[in-house]
Each structure stands twice: as structure tokens, then as C-alpha cells.
Amino acid sequence: MEIKHLVLGRLRTNCYIVIKDNKCIIIDPGDEAEKIISACEDLEVEEILVTHHHWDHILALEKLETFYHLKHNSFLKKSFTYEVIPTPGHASDLLTFYFKDDKIMFTGDFLFYHTIGRCDLETSNIDDMINSLNKISQYPDDIKIYPGHGKSSILGEEKKYFATYFKDK
């Protein structure tokens, strides 16, 4: 499995193209649809996945759904195997996508390099965030994390920080 990484739009949102055998999944089409389409030029786009529906993750979504005749988050799992893990907190609809065979997780704005998503937005909930961190703690340390913004990380590395986020709770 190969991962192409695009940084798109005003908030520099990470868009990932997960590729295997000339087939691919687009994760978080944040903006600049034409850049995504050209990055997928020689590939068969099987799915579009969205970690959550904040505007900076979906500005190009409508264009791509029309272009590829796909509805996002249909979880077709044609050529790819992955687990959909609800990880609310930053947003109530936040989903983490876990590609177990390749030990890769796409965490959206749930989990970043050395920090977590803010929990003061419209559908945020701190208790949900704590539950989501506890849930994700059960997964193996050697999973690579690809977040919605900024650089990637390793889950085991991030787990060290989990206790510090809510030390006053």
C-alpha cells in the first residue's frame, strides 16, 4: 500500500490517497478538487472517505462525488480492508479509519502529532474525547498515525501524552 499526501486549502488540511494495485481511496478532500483528481489520474477511485464534516475537510467533496459517481463514507471495502472506529470528541461524527494490515490509522482532527483536536467547537465533547483516547489506547503502539493537519506520528509515541491532556479532570 502506498500513500500519497496532499496539503490543501486555507487551513492546510491533509488529504490522503491510499493506493494499492492501481486502485485508491481518497481520504478528506479538503479543497482544490482539481489537484486531487490529477493525483488520482491513473488510478481507479473506489471510495471517498471523510473523517468528519468540518468545512476544511470537505470543500472538494461535492465535486469529487460528482466526478467519480461515488457517495462518501459508503464503506464499500472493495479492494481495501479497514476498520471504521468512531472517535468523537473534537466533532460528534469523527471517524478514525484503521488499515490493520498496513498498521496505519487516519485520525482526522481527533489525534495529531503530540496533541489532540480542540474540544470547544459546536459538536465537541470532552467526555467523548476522553473515551475516544481510552478506546484508541487499546490499539498497538506501532501503528502509524496520519492526522488531518500537520505531520504523521506513531501511536505508541502519542499514547505517552494522553494522560497529560486531561490531568485536571
Contact region with Zn ion (CB under 5 A), list: 23-31, 50-58, 80-88, 156-164 = 50-58
Pick the closer one to Zn ion by CB: 1 or 55: 55
**Is the distance from CB of 14 to CB of 147 less than 8 angstroms?**
yes
Q: In the range 101-130, which residues lie near Zn ion by CB under 5 A?
A: 109
Smaller CB separation from Zn ion, 41 or 122: 122
Residue at 145: amino acid letter: I
Q: Does 54 bind Zn ion (CB under 5 A)?
A: yes
Nearer to Zn ion, 109 or 128 (CB): 109
Residues in contact with Zn ion, counted by CB under 5 A, come to a total of 2
What 3 state SS string does 68-124 have?
HCCCCCCCCCCCCCCEEEECCCCCCCCEEEEEHHHCEEEEECCEECCEECCCCCCCC
Give the footprint of Zn ion on this chain (CB under 5 A): 54, 109
